[in-house]
Amino acid sequence: MKNKAIILKDEKAVCLESLDFLREREGYGYFERHFLYFNHKKTLRKCEGFTVFVPTAEVASDVHKYYRVPKDKIAVAPERFTF
């Protein structure tokens, strides 16, 4: 899972693909979960003011819930769009 920073013409954005390590802890060790959590948190803090692109509404609600990103800064990709 890799965070992607995208620079569009005069706009900046970040793509988050999944936050499964926060919702479904099975399959993720303690250190892996914490590393991923703080890695995502650092990326979002570093890119404050950017638009956050996510693949589904579920991931959008998780980004808002766990990282307190304002809902107006989160954009859900169209259903047939893939990252």
Query: And the tokens for 1?
Result: 């899972």
CA distance readout (Å), 20 to 6, 11, 25 = 22, 28, 7
Interior CA angle at 9 toward 5 and 13, to 5°? 25
pLDDT of residue 2: 53
Q: Each residue's pLDDT tens digit in the chain (83 positions)? A: 455 555 555 567 788 888 888 888 788 889 998 998 998 888 888 877 788 888 889 989 999 999 998 999 898 888 765 55
- Least Cα distance to 3 among 12, 20, 15 occurs for 15
Separation CA 5–CA 25 (nearest Å): 26
